[in-house]
Structure 1
Amino acid sequence: MTTRRGFLGGLMAAGLTPRASWADVGLPDFVTAGLEPNGQYILAGLSRSGEVLFRHPLPGRGHAASAHPLRPEVIAFARRPGRFADVLDCRTGRQIARITPPEGLHFYGHGCFSEDGSRLFTTENDYENARGVIGIWDSATYRRIGSFSSGDIGPHDILRHPDGYLVVANGGIETHPESGRTPLNLPTMRSSLAYLSFDGALLEHVALPTDLRLNSIRHLALAPDGTVGFAMQWQGDLGDVVPIVGLHRRGTAPRLLAEDDPRLRNLNGYGGSIAFAPDGETVAVSSPRGDRVQIMDVHSAEMTQEHNLADVCGLATAGAGWVATTGLGQVLSLSPEQARPITTGATAWDNHLIPVG
């Protein structure tokens, strides 16, 4: 009878050693970027109870991350216009690789893996040509194997849709590292959603009405039924009441939520993160500039609740509602009825809270 040791030895000899899976690890529940009191930027692994399971130092400010669908690996992306992305082993927080885009490109802070985990897709800026790019990387080696157009200018967030394509939030804002994060094209700016095949074919391109062309589509979430939620950042007069959350299904027009609700002013024109409730009936958006989380009904399009939370931005689906993080070191449990602190620490949590596993 073949023993387990003999079986594994045979696999190793054949170069087929089994790799750990998320089921083997089980932790962390989330990853998020942060800033330590000593000024060190990090990526941290958090449990659902807010415990920090690992801290990995980053060479600059991080933004978001993406979890490999099969292996306990995450990749942490630099905040734009950064040029690093660190791949980590979530069992230990050890760095596996660091990737860098080609010259003339920088990351936009987000990426996603293909369903089988073989490829990584990253949002990038070809800043000399004012062109959005999706980089393609082989996740076995984390070497770049290609790229294609994002379908517009300023691709920020990207997600893999379960129906077999990519969804890209093209923010529409032209920037250049020499001018930092200053918008260069506000007179002509217009953002969009782009639906792309995995080889870069444009399947659908969706823009907002002309009067909302200064609403930059930035962050994405996916409902259980496949509806795409998007959070926007208004580049116009902050005195305007403008929608910050929208919903979209392919082949239809975007639905904008709470369009005329005066409480939208409380977001200060800024949608930081977006996440659906587990049942998909409501969607939440955070704003660190407005110190708010607002919750909206996906059917009535009305705002149903608002929580006043200082410097809140990280937001992820969890339990019966959401988990949120703040720049003041808090991890909170959110429901439509209440916001309950879980832990408070010295690390200032950054923009996004990414579920893993």
Structure 2
Amino acid sequence: MTTRRAFLASLLAASATPAVGWAAVGDPAYLAAAKGPDGGYFLAGLRADGSEAFRVPLPARGHAGAAHPSRAEAVGFARRPGTYALVVDCRDGALLHQLTPPADRVFNGHGTFSPDGKLLYTVEQRVDDSEGFIGLWDTEANYARIGEFASHGVGPHDIRVMPDHETLVIANGGIQTDVHDRSKLNIDVMRPNLVYTALDGSLLESHDLPDFHQNSIRHLALRDDGLVGFAMQWEGEQGMAPPLLALHRMGEELVICQAPLGDELAMDGYAGSVSFSGDGREIAITSPRGGRVHRFSEGGAFLGSVSRADVCGLARHPEGYMASDGLGGLLVVGPKGATPLRRADASWDNHMVPIGV
């Protein structure tokens, strides 16, 4: 017969058992959403050599993911405007939780965990007017929603936790959208902004783009020393060649990164992803519309381009960057150009999300 002491000891042992970490699912370096040849969607874990560590199904097209910092647990976000975010066990694809935004909100494709993994931050907008919000979810209470705060802008899309672990940086795209058909309602007066908040949502800094107010701030890259890079998508007059990358450090002015005119035109006004390189000494953006990867120095000087059809996903890699395309290709991009790694029987979606950052 089990004694009370033995029972308590077994409980203590169970509570001391470490959560299953990423090594248990093949040590993936990235998360990436994709569409398979059968038309189904999935979220994959990819190693630095391009091989798949796992794949788990998604009910509809995914956009980006968020990787728990210690557990082999990931959140797959629907393409914006989305009404689902799925928390999955990456060992077997089991659905752990399905997150749903409040009735007057939609998810906007991105989110991130706190460094200790106790909180999930989700990027949301209000249906009626696209006003932005950040949702707070307690991962240790079955991902219960425990609060929210304003993103201090319209149409937020991306969010990161700064290296000080006390500050959030938010990309507000500035676009008011109709959630039913994704039509854009305020292009003439749109106002994108880069925002820094404290963890309680109180505003610390907000930076507009007065010379390029129709350049929607979409995606963020973050270096360990707090340097932020952000990619933009032009919503103004066609045929223009606006800059699509900027750098910023808190307390300083924005640094706009301009490519030569011909290269800028080739991007077709659209940057899909942004990432610092593995060594942090440069930063790059992709354009699936233009089939280009543009590399810049850490100071914003243009370093060169690589051509690749439908390239979009981008993440840091020991040899520079890992990139993915809509034709199933994975490649490493560095100072000497691009090196193909693998081609999957799938179509990679917009983003590659590093695990462990």
Q: In the aligned structure 2, how far is the partner of 1:25 from the partner of 1:134?
A: 30
Q: In the aligned structure 2, how far is the partner of 1:222 from the partner of 1:332?
A: 22
Shift of 1:262: 3.1
Residues 313 and 349, structure 2, Cα contact 8 Å, conserved in 1: yes
Q: In the aligned structure 2, how far is the partner of 1:54 from the partner of 1:24?
A: 11
Q: In the aligned structure 1, how far is the partner of 2:323 from the partner of 2:93?
A: 22
Determine if the alignment matches structure 1 residue 70 to structure 2 residue 89: no
Q: In the aligned structure 1, how far is the partner of 2:323 from the partner of 2:127?
A: 33
Determine if the alignment matches structure 1 residue 103 to structure 2 residue 103: yes
Determine if the alignment matches structure 1 residue 121 to structure 2 residue 155: no
Residues 241 and 268, structure 2, Cα contact 8 Å, conserved in 1: no
Specify the alignment match of 1:295 in structure 2: 295
Determine if the alignment matches structure 1 residue 172 to structure 2 residue 174: yes
Specify the alignment match of 1:84 in structure 2: 84
The Cα offsets for residues 314-342 of structure 1, whole Å up to 9 and x where unpaired, read as: 00001120111100000111112121111
Specify the alignment match of 1:308 in structure 2: 307
Q: In the aligned structure 2, how far is the partner of 1:259 from the partner of 1:329?
A: 28
Q: In the aligned structure 2, how far is the partner of 1:351 from the partner of 1:200?
A: 28
Residues 242 and 259, structure 1, Cα contact 8 Å, conserved in 2: no
Q: Structure 1 unaligned runs (5+)? A: none
How many residue pairs match? The answer is 349
- Mapping for residues 1-357 of structure 1, pairs under 5 Å: 9-12=10-13, 15-22=15-22, 27-140=27-140, 141-163=142-164, 164-178=166-180, 180-209=181-210, 211-258=211-258, 261-299=261-299, 301-357=300-356
Residues 8 and 17, structure 1, Cα contact 8 Å, conserved in 2: no
**TM superposition outliers: structure 1 runs of 4+ over 6 Å:** 5-8
Shift of 1:261: 3.7
Q: In the aligned structure 1, how far is the partner of 2:238 from the partner of 2:9?
A: 62
TM-score norm. by structure 2 comes to 0.93
Residues 65 and 76, structure 2, Cα contact 8 Å, conserved in 1: yes
Residues 241 and 260, structure 1, Cα contact 8 Å, conserved in 2: no
Residues 323 and 332, structure 1, Cα contact 8 Å, conserved in 2: yes
AA aligned to 2:123 is T
Residues 224 and 279, structure 1, Cα contact 8 Å, conserved in 2: no
Shift of 1:313: 0.4
Residues 319 and 332, structure 2, Cα contact 8 Å, conserved in 1: no
Shift of 1:176: 2.2
Q: In the aligned structure 2, how far is the partner of 1:214 from the partner of 1:72?
A: 39
Shift of 1:9: 2.8
AA aligned to 2:121 is F
SS of the residue 2:189 aligns to: coil
AA aligned to 1:311 is D
The Cα offsets for residues 118-155 of structure 1, whole Å up to 9 and x where unpaired, read as: 11100001121431010110112111111110010000
AA aligned to 1:217 is I
SS of the residue 2:161 aligns to: strand
SS of the residue 2:76 aligns to: strand
AA aligned to 2:93 is G
Shift of 1:24: 5.5
SS of the residue 2:117 aligns to: coil
Q: Mean alpha-carbon deviation: is it higher for 17-26 or for 338-347?
A: 17-26
SS of the residue 1:265 aligns to: helix
Residues 270 and 287, structure 2, Cα contact 8 Å, conserved in 1: yes
Residues 30 and 354, structure 1, Cα contact 8 Å, conserved in 2: yes
SS of the residue 1:187 aligns to: helix
Shift of 1:8: 7.6
AA aligned to 2:102 is P
Residues 325 and 349, structure 1, Cα contact 8 Å, conserved in 2: yes
Shift of 1:16: 4.7
**Inter-CA distance 6–275: structure 2 relative to 1 (3 Å threshold):** farther
Q: In the aligned structure 2, how far is the partner of 1:60 from the partner of 1:22?
A: 25
Residues 295 and 306, structure 1, Cα contact 8 Å, conserved in 2: yes
SS of the residue 2:10 aligns to: helix
AA aligned to 2:159 is I
Q: In the aligned structure 2, how far is the partner of 1:45 from the partner of 1:24?
A: 12
Q: Mean alpha-carbon deviation: is it higher for 92-101 or for 334-343?
A: 92-101
Paired-residue identity, %: 46
SS of the residue 2:12 aligns to: helix
Q: In the aligned structure 2, how far is the partner of 1:187 from the partner of 1:212?
A: 12
TM-score norm. by structure 1 comes to 0.93
Q: In the aligned structure 1, how far is the partner of 2:297 from the partner of 2:188?
A: 33
